[in-house]
Amino acid sequence: MGEEKKVLNVDEIMEKLAEPFAVEDIEWRMNRTYKKDANTYGGWVVAYVSSRAIMNRLDNVLGIDGWEDEYKPIHNGFSCGIRVWFSETKSRIKWDAADPTKYEATKGGFSSALKRAAVKWGVGRYLYEIPEQHVDIYKDRNKGFHYHKEKESGFVGYWNNPKLPEKYQAKSFTKQPMLNPNLNGSYGNQQDNSINNQSNGDNSDRNGILNWIEEAEEMIGIQGNENFITRIFSRANPQRTPVLQRSDIISDATIKELKEYVSALKPVKDVQKIASAYDCTRKEIIEFAQIVKSEMTVNGLPSLFFNLSKDDVSEIQNIAKQHAQNKHNQTA
């Protein structure tokens, strides 16, 4: 028999909810900047945690059935209530509200309201005590991890997370598990996980792969460009006689050959998914790809075929995420 989970009293629940987050869960947002010299800016960043980290904290302390969140639209904003169940019959709810954000107004407003309501329960309340931390913003991409662009001067730079002061570091909590909703699988010789799980002969499996390919071609913007599609497919399958028409791929390609084509499509498709997730224009996402792939000229998404590693895609995602956060800070 497994060990029975200890039932916490109210004081113990509040104590655990208020625990500092693991250093790995702390994220930093640029708050203000100043120019140091032609190649360097200085900045002051503030600490925060994402709504996912907060929900994971509530799950870890209370269990997935020990709390619930409620939302109500109010004049020019949203209110969120977090209800905590202390027993099957006893619960309490605490509310707070937030304005809609200029970036993803509804989603951002819900997220902000959740964070504020969580603070009422002590979750992340200590973050307000952490003073701004100074960082250097370098022009050289190799010197920093986070992307930053000055709105007025157009200066593009990169900065690293500061060290969290020791007094605010967690002593008992480990990193909150968080899922990436945008990217799955890996690159190189590996395909999309959902496709890898399919067998090599069933027609329904083949149809599923073909549907994925059609969606990817449309998302990337190469649908209907038969010459380009056949060249990509042939390069992904160098051992095969080059195909001349897309219909040859549909009718004659083996499952293995289709999966090789998927491997070529997936990194570029994921870059477009990143653009959609962080509300980037096509021009912006190409600019971010050019920053990462500085050794080549990026004219558009198609030029990224066979040129992206998993780390490249992750770095593009980080730049897009930071860019979205910058837009939110400037318009909020």
pLDDT tens digits, 23-56: 988 999 999 999 988 788 999 999 999 888 999 9
Neighbours of 17 (CB within 10 A): 21
Q: What is the pLDDT of residue 184?
A: 38
Q: Are 36 and 150 in contact (CB under 8 A)?
A: no
Look at residue 193 and tell me whether its pLDDT is greater than 60: no
pLDDT tens digits, 81-97: 999 998 888 899 999 99
Burial readout 216-238 (b: 16 or more C-beta within 10 A, e: otherwise): bbebbebeeebeebbebbbebbe
Question: Residues with Cβ < 8 Å from 56, sequence gap 6 or more?
Answer: 176, 177, 178
Length in residues, the chain: 332
**Strand, helix or coil at 93?**
strand
- Options 3.40.50, 3.30.160, 3.30.200, 4.10.240; CATH for 50-123 is 3.30.160
Nearest-angstrom CA–CA distance, 23 and 7: 27
**DSSP letter string, 135-174:** EEEESSGGG-SEEEE-TTT--EEEE-PPPPPGGGS-SSPP
Nearest-angstrom CA–CA distance, 121 and 110: 17
User: Is the C-alpha dihedral spanning 261, 262, 268, 269 positive or negative?
Assistant: positive
pLDDT tens digits, 113-164: 999 999 999 999 999 999 999 999 998 888 888 889 888 888 989 999 999 9
Report the largest interatomic distance among the alpha carbons of the chain, rounded to a whole angstrom.
71
Structural element, H or E, at residue 119: helix 105-120
Q: Are 168 and 161 in contact (CB under 8 A)?
A: no
**Strand, helix or coil at 79?**
strand
User: Is the C-alpha dihedral spanning 152, 155, 159, 165 positive or negative?
Assistant: negative
CA distances from 129 to 124, 168, 208 (A): 10, 9, 52
Look at residue 321 and tell me whether its pLDDT is greater than 70: yes
Both tokens of 79, joined, read 């209110």
Nearest-angstrom CA–CA distance, 216 and 211: 9
Look at residue 4 and tell me whether its pLDDT is greater than 70: no
Task: State pTM to two decimals.
Answer: 0.56
Domain range list for the chain: 28-46+134-179, 50-123, 193-330
